[in-house]
């Protein structure tokens, strides 16, 4: 593999710290590069700072120290609106607009961008199909008329709507049952093969990280432990990594219960 | 005098004076309508301002609160020396009623907007909505039910307080009430009080329906 050239780095964290007004530090001295077309998984337990890191990328938060570069430009040098329209964002709590139909929810950014209605409509149908929701049944429904998993898929469709080159996905498949989850993970891989978007994907599920990530960044209480390829991750001697792997092995052991 | 007899004589009084009852009713409606319109036009932006700049919270809500604690009759009196307002009784009454109606509107606008689900707000910002788009496409539509509840409360209060406008000669159904008090004639008092109560009930009912419909879609 050739060394990444500078324009290969779509997102770069340079010595980034994020501190609350009260002084509590949520992220300290984070350094991380995300390359074009890769799926970087942020893995870490609850409260380790994954969501905070994502919000620094689309400038929902601004670093207290250091800087986050997107396409080589500090987020603070971007026009915030332009930056955010450039980045698809699937938020952890989904956050669909309760007063909009599914059609309007998914078509929101294209609408803001002033696409003609026919094109928005076609795009929305295409996306709903993509996330496995039959357009005819879902277009005119409201979010409250959907199950949690269906809402989550609408959230993914909405983030993809204007075909942004960058995607931030915060536990996008968290509320899905294992079967649907496995299905949509497969779809994600197939899609990623085709679209080659740059994705930052947050999860605390190691299996999901190994399956979807080209690289895995492990976080622990606001610090980056390390960045690994899936193979490296499984072989790493780092105790924080081995603890993770062991926990999942134990869970797997449960599958063998009651077998001869 | 039995209740039935009294009722009969009250209805006769109303029938006999129906031209004046309806004229005062319309005058009352006008005072309330104009005041409410002004209160919404002033209160809504103030409520929005408070959500945008929290440091305005205390001065704005504080003053609206103070106004609310002034007895209504005294408020009419305080405004009397005001230059343009004091010249005409109806201006004065409308100004006082507007001030009175502000608090629930400002408060509910503020509560409604701040009550929008943080996840929805974050999604809107994360997708690159401008502050304006966020306000008009997300916050106001979602807060509309709560805002309307404030308008409803304010309207009902205003219908009641507007009866006092007659004390400064601004007319309205209060005329009957004050006249009835002076004449010690309950029929005359009721000829003002009953239509005012009906107006308050009607406003409450209609705005309640509207509020219910808006809350269902949000
Ligand atoms: N606005 C805030 N005020 C106070 N504490 C906050 C705030 N935002 C985040 N935190 C704290 O910062 C830490 C990191 O939060 P963050 O949301 O980034 O975690 P996470 O890794 O996404 O966790 P999870 O997997 O549970 O979503 C947590 O301890 C959280 O309580
Ligand atoms: Mg999180």
pLDDT tens for A22-54 read 889 999 999 999 999 999 999 999 999 999 999
User: ∠ CA B133-A75-A94 to the nearest 5 degrees?
Assistant: 50
> Would the pLDDT of A181 be above 90?
no
Tell me what ipTM this predicted complex has. Answer: 0.87
A17, A19, A26, A62: residue to mutate for ligand 1 pocket, most atoms within 8 A of CB:
A26
What pLDDT score does A245 carry? 87
> Would the pLDDT of A101 be above 90?
yes
Residues A189-201 as b/e (b if ≥16 CB within 10 A, e otherwise) read: eebbeeeebbbbb
Tokens of B125: 């910002």
Total domain count for chain A? 1
Asked if A93 and B218 come within 8 Å (Cβ–Cβ), the reply is no
Alpha-carbon distance A131 to A188, whole Å?
9
At B20-76, the pLDDT tens digits run 989 999 999 999 999 999 999 999 999 999 999 988 888 888 888 888 888 888 888
Q: Is residue A56 part of a domain?
A: no
Tokens of A165: 């080159």
Element (H, E) at B113: helix B89-114
Asked if B126 and A58 come within 8 Å (Cβ–Cβ), the reply is yes
Q: Residue of the nearest CA to atom 2 in ligand 1?
A: A20
> Would the pLDDT of A257 be above 80?
no
Which residues neighbour A251 within 8 Å (Cβ) at sequence distance 6 or greater? none
Place of tokens 């960044």: A217
Q: Is residue A218 part of a domain?
A: no
Residue A112 touches chain B, beta carbons under 8 Å: yes
Q: Is residue A109 part of a domain?
A: yes
Q: Is residue A259 part of a domain?
A: no
What would the DSSP string read from start to end of A226-253?
A: EEE-HHHHHH---HHHHHHHHHHHHHHH
* Model confidence band, residue A1 (pLDDT cutoffs 50, 70, 90): very low
State which residue of chain A sits closest to B216, comparing Cα positions: A99
Q: Ligand 2: distance of its center to the CA of A12 in Å?
A: 20
Q: What is the mean pLDDT of chain A?
A: 91
- Residues of chain B under the 70 pLDDT cut: 1, 216-218
User: ∠ CA B28-B33-B36 to the nearest 5 degrees?
Assistant: 125
Q: Is residue A35 part of a domain?
A: no
Alpha-carbon distance A58 to B126, whole Å?
7
CB contact at 8 A, B200 and B188: no
CB contact at 8 A, B218 and A99: yes
Q: Is residue A61 part of a domain?
A: no
Q: Is residue A112 part of a domain?
A: yes
> Would the pLDDT of A225 be above 60?
yes
Q: Determine phi and psi for B198, rounding to 5 degrees.
A: -65, -40
State which residue of chain B sits closest to A61, comparing Cα positions: B126
**Which range has the worst mean pLDDT, A120-134, A242-256, B104-118, B178-192?**
A242-256
Q: Is residue A175 part of a domain?
A: no
| Structural domain of A153 | 93-164
Q: Determine phi and psi for A227, rounding to 5 degrees.
A: -120, 130
Contacts of A93 in chain B (CB under 8 A): 119, 122
Residues 135-154 of chain B with CB under 8 A from chain A are 138, 141-142
* Model confidence band, residue A253 (pLDDT cutoffs 50, 70, 90): confident
Question: Could you tell me the pTM of the whole model?
Answer: 0.86
- CB of A174 within 6 A of ligand 1: the answer is no
CB contact at 8 A, B21 and B14: yes
């Amino acid at each position: 593999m050739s060394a990444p050239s500078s324009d290969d780095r779509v997102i770069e964290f340079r010595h980034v710290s994020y501190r609350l007004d009260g002084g509590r530090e949520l992220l300290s001295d984070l350094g991380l590069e995300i390359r074009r077309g890769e799926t970087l998984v942020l893995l870490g337990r609850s409260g380790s700072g994954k969501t905070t890191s994502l919000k620094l990328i689309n400038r929902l938060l601004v670093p207290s120290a250091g800087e986050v570069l997107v396409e080589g430009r500090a987020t603070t040098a971007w026009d915030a609106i332009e930056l955010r329209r450039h980045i698809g964002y699937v938020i952890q709590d989904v956050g669909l607009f309760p007063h909009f139909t599914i059609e309007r929810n998914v078509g929101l950014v294209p609408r803001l961008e002033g696409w003609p209605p026919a094109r928005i409509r076609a795009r929305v149908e295409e996306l709903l199909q993509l996330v496995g929701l039959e357009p005819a049944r879902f277009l005119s429904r409201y979010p409250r008329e959907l199950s949690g998993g269906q809402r989550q898929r609408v959230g993914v469709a909405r983030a993809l709507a204007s075909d942004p080159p960058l995607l931030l996905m915060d536990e996008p498949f968290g509320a899905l049952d294992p079967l649907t989850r496995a299905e949509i993970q497969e779809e994600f891989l197939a899609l990623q093969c085709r679209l080659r978007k740059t994705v930052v994907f947050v999860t605390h599920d190691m299996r999901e990280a190994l399956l979807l990530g080209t690289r895995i960044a492990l976080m622990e209480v606001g610090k980056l432990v390390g960045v690994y390829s899936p193979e490296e991750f499984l072989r790493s001697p780092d105790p924080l990594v081995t603890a993770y792997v062991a926990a999942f092995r134990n869970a797997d052991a449960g599958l063998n219960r009651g077998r001869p | 005098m039995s209740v039935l007899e009294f009722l009969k004589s009250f209805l006769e009084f109303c029938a006999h004076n129906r031209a004046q009852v309806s004229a005062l009713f319309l005058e009352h409606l006008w005072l309330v309508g104009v005041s409410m319109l002004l209160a919404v036009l002033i209160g809504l932006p103030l409520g929005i301002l408070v959500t945008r700049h929290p440091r305005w919270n205390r001065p704005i809500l504080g003053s609206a609160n103070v106004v609310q604690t002034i007895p209504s009759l005294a408020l009419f009196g305080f405004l009397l020396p005001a230059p343009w307002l004091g010249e005409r009784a109806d201006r004065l009454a409308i100004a006082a009623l507007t001030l009175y109606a502000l608090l629930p509107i400002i408060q509910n606008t503020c509560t409604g907007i701040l009550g929008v689900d943080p996840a929805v707000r974050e999604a809107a910002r994360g997708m690159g909505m401008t502050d304006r788009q966020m306000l008009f496409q997300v916050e106001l539509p979602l807060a509309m039910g709560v805002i309307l509840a404030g308008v409803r409360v304010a309207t009902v209060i205003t219908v009641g307080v507007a009866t006092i406008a007659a004390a400064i000669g601004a007319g309205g159904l209060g005329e009957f009430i004050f006249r009835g008090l002076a004449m010690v004639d309950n029929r005359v008092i009721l000829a003002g009080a009953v239509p005012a109560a009906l107006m308050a009930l009607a406003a409450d009912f209609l705005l309640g329906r509207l509020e219910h419909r808006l809350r269902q879609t949000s």
